[in-house]
Amino acid sequence: MNKKKLATISSAVVAVSLLTAACGSTSGTDGGGTAASSAPEAPLPLSIAIAQVGDIPAKGNAVEQAIEKYTNTKLDIQWIPSAAFNDKVNVMLASNEMPKLLKVNQTPNVVNAIESQLFWEIGPLLSSYKNLSAQNEQFFQNISVEGKVYGVPLYRNMGRGAIVYRKDWFDRLGLTVPKSIDGWYDTLKKLTQSDPDQNGKNDTYGIVLNKTYNQGAASMLTRLAVAMGGVNKWGVDKDANFTPEFMTKEFVDVLKLFRKLYEEKLINQDFAVLDATEAEKLFDTSRVGVRFAVATNGKSQQDRLSKTAPSAVVDVASFEGPQGVRISSENGNNGFLVIPKSSVKSEAELKRVLAFLDKLMDPDMSTLLLRGIEGTHFAKTADNRTEFIGDGFNAFQREVKPYRDNLPVLEGYNVAPLKDVPIGEKGTKMESDGIKYIVSNPALTLTSATFSERGQELEQQMNDAQTKFIMGKIDEAGYQDEIAKWRKAGGDSIMAEYKASYLKLRKK
């Protein structure tokens, strides 16, 4: 950050004088639920190790000063480059030399450290903190280990999945967003064969797949199967028996849909090798009518498309099927913050650290971390919304985003809505509201020794089988043979181990 900019921002500290209510006047408790003494409490020295996002913010910048003043802390932040982040965390775990707050991801090494009692369990204390306890319980369940909570999530909306589509093409062809497998076939066929862009050429697809089409939380197969009533990665019955999604009817029906589309050349024939970025370019250049993405992608898609097709209209819709709106849940976090016992040695200090995290979700701090400093990054509107001003958005990306991405805030909680173009506001609202419709993965935090050892290999085996099936290289019998191989190679063990883990948690 250059000196001129730093001076400008430092002067803006005056604009956040509303934050001087700080610790004593905003809380009324010491973080442990008892009345605070009348004497001012000394600032809490708080060392934090988090991921570097962009350039490292200058020490003592206006944002950091505002956080310290409001939360009554003295921050010592270690910014770890993203490329080396997990390696650096592993070194800290091995040495047990850690700061008072450490950002981690749910890797096997982190789970082992939790099981070795290196971090404080905080679940029983959360009810004492108004903001942390106000969040959906699923956020905490998704980072739990053996049913216990050892950290505060870096919250991300779980119900973000949505359909981004060319509304002008749909309107021109008299189409609506499908709610059934047959409806999807008919719609995608018309978008491919009926010249929706009216250029007289057979050069469009209803949808395209790329080589990661069936991987991770963004799996197109999972998203559509869940909408049709299926499970999210795994299903569990009343007897605690686990079934992987690829053995369920809804998932196989989606596979058959894409097999038929591929056979009739209604989807791209090169999907098995097509990069995701290249697939996205096809939408940007008016070659594709539908994308499975997240709701806020609608705005960025409209922005890019308008450069090549100014009259194009993009819209977003929820995944919906026979049972209504159903969205495959994402993990709901960008990692989580743990509190090491080696550096926070008493429960009293633990409660002060938790109070710090809780205060970050107060309205003043949520506004700071999600919008920036009023008058520098954003302004309030007459209708009680906020909007970025001047170069405020770019400045926010440099000066505030590094904190926002590493601290517990959630868009839509304790912050005024952001004024945006209609599709931007719609996408933001859909992502916030999506939590009402999520279908969670019941195996997300369960333990399986076989999965830890061979899970990635076994997943790849079935991903390859799905691609072979869609391309017609194997038939339904061949697909069932691949499932049998998966079961023999370790799949049966994973199902049994998930069942045992699930039953163990139910007894607690």
**How far is Cα 202 from Cα 103, in angstroms, rounded to an integer?**
50
Please classify residue 30 by burial: count the beta carbons closer than 10 Å to its beta carbon, then call 0-12 exposed, 13-18 middle and 19+ buried: middle
Cβ-Cβ contacts under 8 Å for 4 (sequence gap 6 or more): none
Among the candidates 328, 346, 374, a domain finishes at 328
Same structural domain for residues 255 and 344?
no
Q: Which one, of 487, 500, 505, 493, lies nearest residue 452 by Cα?
A: 493
Name the average pLDDT for the chain. 91
Helices 220-227 and 249-263, axial angle in degrees (round to 10): 120
Residue 118 lies in a domain: yes
Last residue of a domain, one of 328, 361, 382: 328
Same domain, 271 and 150: no
Torsion of CA 254, 258, 260, 263, to 10 degrees: -160
Residue 146 and residue 41 share a domain: yes
Is the same domain home to 154 and 165? no
Indicate the residue among 295, 311, 328 that finishes a domain. 328
- Regarding whether 95 and 17 lie in a shared domain, the answer is yes
Condensed to tens digits (0 to 9), the pLDDT of residues 45-88 reads 999 999 988 889 998 899 999 999 999 999 999 999 988 898 99
Are 174 and 266 in a shared domain? yes
HEC string for 179-246:
CCHHHHHHHHHHHHHCCCCCCCCCCCEEECCCCCCCCCCCCHHHHHHHHCCCCECEEECCCCCEEEHH
Q: In degrees, to the nearest 5, what angle opens at C-alpha 210 toward C-alphas 208 and 216?
A: 120
Which CATH number characterizes residue 66's domain? 3.40.190.10
Please check whether residue 420 lies inside any domain of the structure: no
Q: In this structure, are 250 and 317 located in the same domain?
A: yes
Instruction: Using alpha carbons only, give the angle 326, 330, 332 rounded to the nearest 5 degrees.
Output: 120
Same structural domain, 359 and 408: yes
> What would the mean pLDDT of 421-441 be, rounded to a whole number?
95
Whether residue 426 lies inside any domain: the answer is: no
130 and 205 in a single domain? The answer is no
Q: Do both 453 and 486 map to the same domain?
A: yes
pLDDT (0 to 100) of residue 86: 87
253, part of any domain: yes
pLDDT, mean of residues 372-393: 95
The pLDDT, as a whole number, for residue 330 is: 94
Task: Answer whether residue 443 is part of any domain.
Answer: no
Q: How confident is the model at residue 40 (pLDDT cuts 50, 70, 90)?
A: confident
Structural domain total, the chain: 3
Q: Is the pLDDT of residue 13 over 50?
A: no
Residue 79 domain-assigned (yes or no) = yes
Q: Say what angle helices 249-263 and 449-470 make with each other, to 10 degrees.
A: 40
- One domain for residues 12 and 145: yes
Give the number of residues written for the chain.
508
328/158 Cα distance (integer angstroms): 8
Map tokens 């931007």 to a residue.
424
Residues 302 and 183 in one domain: yes
Instruction: Report pLDDT for 189.
Output: 98
Average of per-residue pLDDT across 366-386: 96
Q: Tell me the pLDDT tens digit for each residue of 277-312.
A: 899 999 999 999 999 999 999 999 999 999 889 999
Expressed as residue numbers, the domain containing 454 is 449-507
Residue 439, domain member (yes or no): no
Q: Is there a domain that residue 42 lies in?
A: yes
